[in-house]
């Protein structure tokens, strides 16, 4: 019997007088009570989230009017917005056309080759960003103009990303044709 482990004196005391040590037991995680303060904090957070969402939708409705919102603008505002977005599309197209056809003056210089490629990609990104920015600043633009501008900007971005990830030339050619189509659509709604 001597080789059996003897419980230490604290364990023995807990076994002899369990009611004295009842309050020192660690609470089990699955039985943790939720305080009323925590409930009110959760309720306040939920109310705040709902209020934020409703406020965000209201602000979005003011800053980004729905498709039928062109009735909120005068004919002059609509004409000015259309003119602004169409002019931005023209500038974006010109920037892309100029920079996509640059030639490295020294074909043996790899730095020049990288610079030409970087300019081409920058023109795609810059053209898309400029067009989207002008569109965002022209909420009175007619829906067909806005849709065509978004499609053109998306085509510019898509072509740019295809270059950045190194897709094959066949993919670039197809995306280039898609961009040409979006530019033609823009010309039709702006004409």
If we measure between CA atoms, which residue out of 124, 137, 140, 128 comes closest to residue 89? Answer: 128
**pLDDT band with cut points at 50, 70 and 90 for residue 8:** low
Look over the chain and give the mean of its residue pLDDT values, rounded to a whole number: 78
Question: Do 91 and 135 touch, CB atoms closer than 8 A?
Answer: no
pLDDT reported for residue 136: 96
Q: Across residues 93-111, what is the average pLDDT?
A: 90
Global pTM value: 0.62
In tens, the pLDDT along 30-51 reads: 555 556 666 666 665 556 565 5
Between CA 122 and CA 160 the distance in angstroms is 8
Q: Which residue has the higher pLDDT, 34 or 185?
A: 185
In tens, the pLDDT along 57-73 reads: 555 454 444 444 446 99
User: Which residues neighbour 68 within 8 Å (Cβ) at sequence distance 6 or greater?
Assistant: none
């Amino acid at each position: 019997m001597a080789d059996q482990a003897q419980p230490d004196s604290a364990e023995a005391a807990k076994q002899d007088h369990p009611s004295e040590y009842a309050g020192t037991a660690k609470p089990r995680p699955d039985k943790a009570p939720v305080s009323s303060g925590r409930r009110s904090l959760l309720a306040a957070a939920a109310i705040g989230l709902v209020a934020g969402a409703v406020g965000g939708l209201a602000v979005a409705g003011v800053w980004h009017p729905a498709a039928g919102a062109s009735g909120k603008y005068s004919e002059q505002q609509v004409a000015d917005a259309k003119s602004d977005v169409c002019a931005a599309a023209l500038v974006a197209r010109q920037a892309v056309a100029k920079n996509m056809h640059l030639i490295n003056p020294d074909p043996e210089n790899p730095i020049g080759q990288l610079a030409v490629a970087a300019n081409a990609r920058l023109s795609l990104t810059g053209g898309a960003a400029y067009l989207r920015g002008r569109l965002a600043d022209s909420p009175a633009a007619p829906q067909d103009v806005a849709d065509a501008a978004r499609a053109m900007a998306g085509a510019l971005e898509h072509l740019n990303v295809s270059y950045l990830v190194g897709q094959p030339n066949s993919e670039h050619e197809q995306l280039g044709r898609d961009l040409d189509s979006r530019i033609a659509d823009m010309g039709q709604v702006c004409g």
